[in-house]
Structure 1
């Protein structure tokens, strides 16, 4: 048996239920029994992928050709794939961290409570600010694009003042997204996510169709295949690609709601979502860049000649960001709730010395019945959601551009969520000295005992290989956190240089 089994052997009578399945923890039984899973998570694999892809792909897909023009085709494609791989690894670490928590209770707050409890408020505040800022930017995009969409469909629209007023359209679309923002479960947004993905598909088809048609070649600039524009220009586009994969704020909700939370199933959700997003980014980047060359702008749709198809494309962008707004409200609400409930933990109440305070976060802990997956009461849920909606509406109505603010919020918030937090959380919680890791290792050993049918040779080889992989994964998680810190500093410096240059 493994060394971890010997270390945690004194907890044997505490963690093993007295049922016929005594060798399985409640975490394991809930992941196997379809009936129990249905109570905790009812989301399908497909709906999980759809929601995650919709969270990943936003208006940033339209800036991919510009990034390629600054980096060159070869380097640009490599950076898109690299950014997808690192973001996917962060998502994978989140699936691993969720195994240390009670089924259905995974969140950044829950993890910070058993790893860095007194820093939990900082983590959740950063997530809330990031999601709020992105949500506001979506409302601003709606206000900026809708007047042009109306004018594209009707030349006389300008004569009706309110039809070309951004405030009118922000207000009108808020009436649509408000009911969607009050949905508790992320899985409830799967149908709106499908509509948003249809809009994305139209944008991709439009870019590819113009490239095949070749009607932009007369205005095309030179093409860079290997050479880049400059080091500064390349660094300025790097954050755009890195942040284009940010979806980690919704990953724990997906893990809580998915019906089958097996390791293979959750990993396949990550691979499918990141893979599809990377494919779309590369397709739009290459075809869009080859259509306009180095003359391409940040929003490629705005470069096409005025027509019904380009007007529909602008409308598709509006639909896409409109249905993406509730996907930002969902994690923002959870983080704000965690910040409100946070209380500092005294040294004598640390997880190691007083586990009773955190027992509900541990695998196998007995919790009271919860009617809501998010744990929020009706009044608190309504109050926080209303506050987020009202504040975002006020900011969107009074501010016409958040580019500079979002540049810094994205550099800090997105980097923290995507790389630093998943890396640090897994590195901390998977430490051999961690009581949570020892408990999980014991459950895994018991599971392997049952699977191997007491074949000690097979069991021993599997455990040795598993320990080696866990050590490698733990080192890789630390490397991801360090990489996130480097990305954060690089992006902040680059943004600062551009602000100075513009002045």
Structure 2
């Protein structure tokens, strides 16, 4: 009899515990739209491919200018600040319906009159980067051909023409650019990351082999070359982590958008990128010392492995181009949809009592762009980028200023300002979400108090514990809000520094 009673108590307790766990799990969900289908690995791969690009090849040279100690610290610091910007984006997405997160949607409920400026800056930045990828293809492929078949191959002169290769690889990127979902690019991203892996192995292998020591210059472990030289390397490290233009698409498409899951995507992507940069930077710099050039692959003697490395760079930028078309297209569409003097309250009137106020309500949560507009914008991006890449051989000046303004805005200023504005205690959205959190905590505290009241004879201690948790949560949100403002201010400082540095660098050349 005692055994049966004990079993009944265990069964009831287990059921009650599962019920509480269910309520706790449900309390963390704020999903109204359609859930995504992308896996965790797919999200990490696409975000990592957006981060790691041809800029990794300039890391050894940047390290030479700063010295190893300061250079590694700046690489890590740049990763931390970029990761914090991504983290703020994931928090901002919680204020929107599932699948509707975008810079445009956040602009509409924070700074509606500036939304068109934000999206125009993002579109220009992504378009410029995409064009630079095509230019890199045109510059590298003739050298790749010479490495494989030689420059004197009869009847093959067209293979040494940059215009031919820009045109040829456009045929590769066109179908990839018309894919609607970022998750569809996961396999090309894997191929691109494999190319980075090969480049990393190449640099490390030459360092271990030591076949560059005869040409190595002096090594600076703690001292920089000069303040101006170190400052000119700073933008290289900061912009190496720019991937924020695709973060909202990843948040919209990931199947499990829990706080832990999205944070782990950010941590894995930024951590992998930082590790790659540090490894290439240190081993590449130790291989050549202060004699290092701007492109680590170009430092190695002509060989089959070096030629394959150049081809790997081409593969990398080819499959990175569609990752720039995706946010560029979304931003251009948002610019077309923008109307002056938009008021957040106009959306509030259409919200049902069970929905958060002031939130945009797209009829197609995963993709609100119509098929016709999608085709027109994508075609326009492809045509104009092709024309620019064919007629201009260097976009150094334009990209320097576009990167200084666009990248800092996307990575630091906008995430910081958006979260600072939307998490304001006076914000109706924030008050609604805080109320839901408090109600969820109260329900859990009531359940816990009920259990312990029967066991301990009172729930006063647990009520105090619940109050402590609530105060701790409010303190953390207040601190996070201050840090978000700090990130925005940091972004402005970085923008000013980079603009001054670029102006001085271009003037000296």
Does the TM-score normalized on the shorter chain lie above 0.5?
Answer: yes
Q: Which residue among 203, 213, 234 is the counterpart of 1:238?
A: 234
- What residue in structure 2 maps to residue 390 of structure 1? 383
**TM-score by structure 2 length?**
0.89
Tell me the distance in 2 between the aligned counterparts of 1:436 and 1:157: 68
Tell me the distance in 1 between the aligned counterparts of 2:505 and 2:195: 32
State the Cα distance separating 1:40 from its structure 2 match: 2.1
**TM-score by structure 1 length?**
0.90
Q: Which residue among 438, 447, 466 is the counterpart of 1:445?
A: 438
Q: Which residue among 475, 484, 495 is the counterpart of 2:491?
A: 484
1:293-304 map, 5 Å = 293-304=289-300
Tell me the distance in 2 between the aligned counterparts of 1:264 and 1:412: 31
Residue 286 and residue 359 in structure 1: after superposition, are their counterparts in 2 closer, same or farther (change >3 A)?
farther
SS of 1:43's equivalent in the other structure is coil
- What residue in structure 2 maps to residue 56 of structure 1? 51
Tell me the distance in 2 between the aligned counterparts of 1:367 and 1:409: 32
State the Cα distance separating 1:355 from its structure 2 match: 2.4
Tell me the distance in 2 between the aligned counterparts of 1:91 and 1:168: 38
Q: Which runs of 5+ in 2 are unaligned?
A: 1-22, 450-462
Tell me the distance in 2 between the aligned counterparts of 1:357 and 1:400: 51
Aligned residues: 473
Tell me the distance in 2 between the aligned counterparts of 1:149 and 1:170: 14
Is it true that 1:494 corresponds to 2:501 in the alignment?
Answer: yes
State the Cα distance separating 1:133 from its structure 2 match: 0.3
Return the index of the structure with the highest Cα Rg. 2
Tell me the distance in 2 between the aligned counterparts of 1:497 and 1:419: 24
1:381-460 map, 5 Å = 381-454=374-447, 455=449, 456-460=463-467
- What residue in structure 1 maps to residue 205 of structure 2? 209
Tell me the distance in 1 between the aligned counterparts of 2:117 and 2:27: 29
Tell me the distance in 1 between the aligned counterparts of 2:446 and 2:249: 35
Residue 496 and residue 158 in structure 1: after superposition, are their counterparts in 2 closer, same or farther (change >3 A)?
farther
Q: Which residue among 151, 155, 158 is the counterpart of 1:162?
A: 158
Q: Which residue among 460, 466, 469 is the counterpart of 2:476?
A: 469
Preserved contact between residue 105 and residue 360 of structure 2 (Cα < 8 Å): no
SS of 1:53's equivalent in the other structure is helix
Preserved contact between residue 57 and residue 244 of structure 1 (Cα < 8 Å): yes
- What residue in structure 2 maps to residue 250 of structure 1? 246
- What residue in structure 2 maps to residue 12 of structure 1? none
Q: Which runs of 5+ in 1 are unaligned?
A: 1-22
Residue 464 and residue 69 in structure 1: after superposition, are their counterparts in 2 closer, same or farther (change >3 A)?
same
After TM superposition, where is structure 1 displaced by more than 6 Å over at least 4 residues in a row? 23-27, 357-360
Is it true that 1:40 corresponds to 2:47 in the alignment?
Answer: no
- What residue in structure 2 maps to residue 78 of structure 1? 73
- What residue in structure 2 maps to residue 93 of structure 1? 88
Preserved contact between residue 48 and residue 187 of structure 1 (Cα < 8 Å): yes
Preserved contact between residue 207 and residue 284 of structure 1 (Cα < 8 Å): yes
Tell me the distance in 2 between the aligned counterparts of 1:320 and 1:344: 40
Tell me the distance in 1 between the aligned counterparts of 2:65 and 2:405: 23
Cα distance per residue 1:15-70 (max 9 Å; x no partner) = xxxxxxxx999995465xxxx98x42011111100000000000000000000000
- What residue in structure 1 maps to residue 321 of structure 2? 325
Residue 369 and residue 120 in structure 1: after superposition, are their counterparts in 2 closer, same or farther (change >3 A)?
closer
